Chains A and B, each alone.
Chain A
């Protein structure tokens, strides 16, 4: 890929023409004013004007945006990492990206901003670019942060808010009320039960809020695999007589395993039951269903999900290091299997997949109470 047009470089985050810049500010800390990944530092008050100049320079580019994507992190160094993620994401998801890096422990309140554009060739000819604004805030930030972000949203486009890491008190009702989609990764939380209480409060504050949890997205191929296998009349017939569910998961992804379990129980109408051997389910007509959860620290987040009936078994498996999951249905004298792709693991790919699926994620909401019940068992 070569350079195209005046101020943009393909496949790169590109600070626009230096000479056009006005009001450059001096660096306050470790991020330089001209940073290859974040672009060029600009005074916060003139961000929109400076962004506008980006487009004036070059007729050959298209500014595309289907959403506002805010990426929020309290981790040091996250701004630069996230900018690299946005560069990848914008290949398929045109957005106005607003990156927010926060250091609440710094005593001095500061606010710095950088702008850039991520450009990609569409169909090998047209250059399609997405704007990015990166903010770095220090000190007590709650109100400042919210106002800063709100002031730079593209009007009328949905707001996707990707919250990285532990939730904090910055996730206020005021903030939640303007978010359309909140992206989280519950496997990164030290105390999921407590954090899900905050999520519940957020959902109450904004009933239209759509929650997208990486932990849930990581099980997509397993869930779609099970659903597809149960389209087969052979598996359907086995449904009422299921007596065992076995899940093997990576210890860091227990939430994913429990969410899948909650989903199965909610969809199939299984009640919770307690047996001598620990927890179990009971089908709607009283059949006991045993549960076996095993850890495998060398495997992917989920490495197998097996549902057993006396004659028939239905399973989805993913071997360590494999780039496919295998679906299999087996009954007396018959076995059929097929391969499908694995779920992505990188945060960028998980978000990309969540964005491309869209929808209300209502199944997640439906499974959530049951899952929270399992969390505290």
Chain B
């Protein structure tokens, strides 16, 4: 118990620890992890006594490693670059050269960590961040175990953060989970899903459960359907095609981020705000998804597509199959739309639609909750009728906020109705920007709060759902067609038809 923490800030206790980053010369470390740790230091949130060790293959001195981090931090840091804080922060960062598979490298790492702990009377906490390509996850975990680094010293903790992608299907995810659980306790395992670190994602629970006006309406009686859209205007720039070809929109975004958002929108109120309290409810949603487990069901409920050459912001862009590092005969989807049903009392008969696509007209992620129309006996006879019903929109990026569409009377002597919008923008109302998702998530892992991380069962249930679709696409004799849309448009007509069968339409963003 820390008596001075009481009431000061409401979070778990972040103790000093050594953070080892595997893949430390990589893009993620330079662009996200180190700037996030630095910004935590700027905010006074990083515990005094934290040590950061970068682990990668290339020969580098501490000074060279630090210089590279310095250069990028100046460019990307959210709060700018304060030389004095940076100088103090960077003193805690060092570099460790080793192959991921070299037992000697881990033995030397263990010695380094022991030396750090020795200064503190032999005690020390450890946080291992696996920020390598996924093919190394197993090897790193096994090597950590062989070196005894997975075991915490008495009174201390050893935790692991694993980056995405967490498996490529149910079998690989289960295998990886097995390796992780053989190495670290599940309660010490933190599977990153950076969408959960975003302010609006966290605000979803507050919006639903701290406002008494929404929850009574949050069910099949009042909600007609819910849409989750993740639109990107980028394509395969910067060599991304190589990675994307192996994954595709469904595995890259839907399995993790979008199903996580879905579970936050659809879950029952948790009994408490503990990590397991929240995750118990989230996993129930994924478990209750109706499975699209035949080719016919997939054909009826899922649309996959690739873009053909088109224009974005007036610039000509190539089709998916013409992109750099993409096969001209590629069968990888760059767009996917899924109709989902959740078989619970609350959501019976309410379709959820998820869409994710590259080269759509703009970058935008949002959740929209479409309420049923009011029984309009009163206004049906009006010329022009009653415009569409209430829509609650929760914008995740880029312009975080919430809006509510309502129907209103146009002023005047005649009775005409028009939709109006009440809009709340985080940036307008609260001025300063939200912290980066990685800041929140790193601090939570240091403090031992796993609420915003995916649990084993959540990941596996999500893969189970996704696997049926992947199998219908890639293993069936007559796979559902790969639809096409022109780059810069809002996706294929087949995706529109997916909603039309229920009498719905995609929200215009």
A residues near B, CB below 8 A? 62, 64, 66, 91-94, 122-123, 126, 128, 221, 223-234, 236, 239, 264, 267-269, 323-324, 327-329, 331, 333-334, 336-341, 356, 362-363, 366
CA distance A340 to B430 in the complex (A): 23
B348 at the interface (CB under 8 A from A): no
Contacts of B508 in A (CB 8 A): none
Inter-chain contact A224/B3, CB cutoff 8 Å: no
Chain A residue with Cβ nearest B124? A233
Instruction: Report the Cα distance A229→B47, complex, angstroms.
Output: 7
Residues of chain B having any CB pair with chain A under 8 Å: 1-9, 13-16, 41-50, 84-85, 88-89, 119-121, 123, 155, 399, 425, 427-432
Whether A236 touches B2, Cβ cut-off 8 Å, given contacts A64-B429, A221-B44, is yes
Contact A230–B46 (Cβ < 8 Å):
no
Closest chain B residue, CB of each to CB of A327: B48
Chain B residue contacts of A223, Cβ below 8 A: 4, 8
Closest Cβ of chain B to A126, distance in Å, is 7
Assess the A323–B48 pair: CB atoms within 8 A. Answer: no
For the complex formed, measure the closest distance between the CB of A53 and the CB atoms of chain B, giving whole angstroms.
18
In the complex with contacts A223-B8, A336-B16, A234-B121 CB distance below 8 A: yes
Residues of B within 8 A of A236 (CB): 1-2
Cβ B427 vs Cβ A228 within 8 A = no
- Known contacts A334-B120, A338-B46: A269-B3 contact under CB 8 Å: yes
* A123 proximity list for chain B (CB < 8 A): 399, 427
Return the chain A residue nearest B5 by Cβ: A227
| A64-B428 in contact given A231-B14, A333-B119, A362-B7 (Cβ < 8 Å) | yes
Asked if A338 and B41 sit within 8 Å, CB to CB, the answer is yes
Q: Is the CB of B44 within 8 A of A225?
A: yes
Can you report 10 A-B residue pairs in the complex whose CB atoms are below 8 A from each other?
A62-B428, A122-B427, A226-B4, A228-B44, A230-B2, A231-B14, A232-B49, A338-B49, A339-B88, A341-B44
Which residue of chain B lies nearest to A94 when distances are taken between CB atoms in the complex? B429
Given A94-B428, A231-B14 in contact, is the A340-B2 Cβ separation under 8 Å?
no
A128 partner residues in chain B, CB cutoff 8 A:
428
Given the known inter-chain contacts A123-B427, A333-B119, A339-B85, please indicate yes or no for A232 contacting B44, CB distance below 8 A.
Answer: no
Main secondary structure of the interface of A (DSSP, over half): mixed
B residues in contact with A333, CB < 8 Å? 119
Closest to A223 in B: B8
A92 and B123: CB pair below 8 A? no
Distance between Cα atoms of A92 and B430 in the complex (Å)? 6
CB nearest neighbor in A for B399: A123
Q: Say how far A272's CB is from chain B's closest CB, in angstroms.
A: 17
The distance from the CB of B127 to the nearest CB of chain A, in whole angstroms, is 15
- Not counting A223-B8, A232-B15, A324-B85, a sample of 7 additional A-B residue pairs whose C-beta atoms are within 8 angstroms of each other reads A94-B429, A223-B4, A224-B44, A227-B5, A228-B14, A336-B16, A363-B6
A160 to chain B minimum Cβ distance, whole angstroms, is 15
Contact of B48 among A62, A64, A239, A329 (CB under 8 A): A329
- Chain B residue, CB-CB nearest to A221: B44
A229 to B430: give the CA distance in the assembly, Å: 30
B431 touches A94 (CB 8 A): yes
The answer to whether B429 touches A334, judged by C-beta atoms less than 8 angstroms apart, is: no
Give which listed residue, B4, B84, B431, B432, contacts A227 with CB less than 8 A.
B4
Question: Nearest Cβ distance between residue B506 and chain A, in whole angstroms?
Answer: 26
* Smallest Cβ-Cβ distance to B4: which chain A residue: A227
Find the B residue at minimum CB distance from A225.
B44
**Contacting residues, chain A, for B7 (C-beta < 8 A):** 362-363, 366
Cα–Cα, bound, A341→B429 (Å): 25
What is the chain A residue whose CB lies nearest that of B44? A340
* Contact residues in B for A62 (Cβ distance below 8 Å): 428
For A331, list chain B residues within 8 Å (CB): 121
With A128-B428, A267-B3, A336-B49 given, is the CB distance from A227 to B8 under 8 Å? yes
- Please give, as numbers and ranges, the residues of chain A lying within 8 Å of B429 by CB-CB distance: 64, 66, 94
**Inter-subunit contact A336/B48 (CB<8 Å):** yes
Best-surrounded residue of B15, B47, B48, B123 (most CB of chain A within 10 A): B48
Majority SS of interface residues in chain B? loop
CB-based contact B2/A337 at 8 Å:
no
The answer to whether B121 touches A231, judged by C-beta atoms less than 8 angstroms apart, is no
Q: Give the CA-CA distance A128 to B426 in the complex, in Å.
A: 12
Q: In the complex the two chains form, is A122's CB within 8 Å of B2's CB?
A: no
Residue of A at shortest CB range from B50?
A: A338
Query: Nearest Cβ distance between residue A314 and chain B, in whole angstroms?
Result: 10
User: Is A231 in contact with B41, judged by CB distance below 8 angstroms?
Assistant: no
Bound complex: CA of A362 vs CA of B8, how far in Å?
9
- A92 and B431: CB pair below 8 A? yes
CA–CA, A230 to B6, complex, Å? 11
Q: Give the distance to chain A from B430, nearest Cβ to Cβ, in Å.
A: 7
Q: List, in ascending order, chain B residues with CB within 8 A of A334's CB.
A: 119-121
Write the chain B residue with the least CB distance to A64: B428
Interface centre among B44, B47, B123 (most CB of A within 10 A): B44
For the complex, give the distance between the alpha carbons of A324 and B42 in Å. 10
Contact yes or no, A329 B49, CB < 8 A: yes
Q: Which residues of B contact A267 (CB under 8 A)?
A: 3-4, 6
- In the bound assembly, the distance between CA atoms of A341 and B84 in angstroms comes to 10
| Residues in A neighbouring B2, C-beta threshold 8 A | 227, 230-231, 236
Q: In the assembled complex, which residues on chain B have CB atoms less than 8 Å from the CB atom of A268?
A: 3-4
The reply to whether A224 and B8 form a contact with Cβ atoms under 8 Å apart is yes
Cα of A93 to Cα of B430 in the assembled complex, Å = 6
Residues of chain B within 8 A (CB-CB) of A363 are 6-8
Bound CA–CA A178/B2 (angstroms): 36
Contacts of B425 in A (CB 8 A): 122
How far does the Cβ of B135 sit from chain A's closest Cβ, in whole Å?
36
Q: What A residues does B43 contact at CB under 8 A?
A: 340-341
Q: Which of A236, A268, A339 has the most CB of B within 10 A?
A: A339
- Which A residue's beta carbon lies closest to that of B447? A231
Name B47's contact: one of A64, A221, A228 (CB within 8 Å).
Answer: A228
Shortest Cβ distance from B85 into chain A, in angstroms? 5
**Which residue of chain B lies nearest to A239 when distances are taken between CB atoms in the complex?**
B3
- The interface residues of chain B lying within 8 Å CB-to-CB of A239 are 3
CB neighbours of A366 from chain B (8 A): 7
- Chain B residues, CB < 8 A from A93: 431
Give min CB distance, A250 to chain B, whole Å: 21
**A-B pairs with the 5 shortest C-beta distances?**
A92-B431, A340-B44, A336-B49, A227-B4, A338-B48
A112 CB → nearest B CB, Å = 31
In whole angstroms, what is the CA distance A328 to B88 when docked? 12
Q: When the two chains form their complex, are residues A231 and B119 in contact, meaning their CB atoms are under 8 A apart?
A: no
Known: A91-B431, A92-B431. A229 touches B48 (CB 8 A): yes
Cβ of A322 to closest chain B Cβ, rounded Å: 8
Do residues A126 and B119 form an inter-chain contact, with CB atoms below 8 A? no
| Contacts known (A223-B4, A234-B120, A341-B44); A126 close to B428, Cβ less than 8 A | yes
Q: Are B13 and A231 in contact (CB under 8 A)?
A: yes
Distance A329 CA – B432 CA, assembled complex (angstroms): 32
Looking at A123, A264, A366, which has the most chain B CB atoms within 10 Å of its CB?
A: A123
Assess the B88–A338 pair: CB atoms within 8 A: yes
**Are B42 and A230 in contact (CB-based, < 8 A)?**
no
A65 CB, nearest partner CB in chain B, Å? 9
Residues of A within 8 A of B120 (CB): 234, 334
Q: Which of chain A's residues have a CB closer than 8 A to the CB of B432?
A: 92, 356
In contact, B3 and A233 (Cβ under 8 angstroms)? no
CA distance A323 to B84 in the complex (A): 9
CB neighbours of B13 from chain A (8 A): 231
B363 to chain A, nearest CB (A): 14
Cα(A30)–Cα(B48), bound, Å: 54
**A65, closest chain B residue (CB):** B429
B residues near A233, Cβ cutoff 8 Å: 15, 123, 155
How far is B41's CA from A226's CA once the two chains are assembled, in angstroms?
15
Q: How far is B88's CA from A331's CA once the two chains are assembled, in angstroms? A: 20
Name the residue among B4, B43, B155, B425 with the largest chain A CB count within 10 angstroms: B4
A126 to B426, CA, bound (A): 13
Q: Please indicate the chain B residues that have their CB under 8 angstroms from the CB of A228 in the complex.
A: 14, 44-45, 47-48
Q: How far is the CA of A234 from the CA of B117 in the complex (A)?
A: 12
A232–B16 touching, CB < 8 Å: yes
A57 to chain B, nearest CB (A): 19
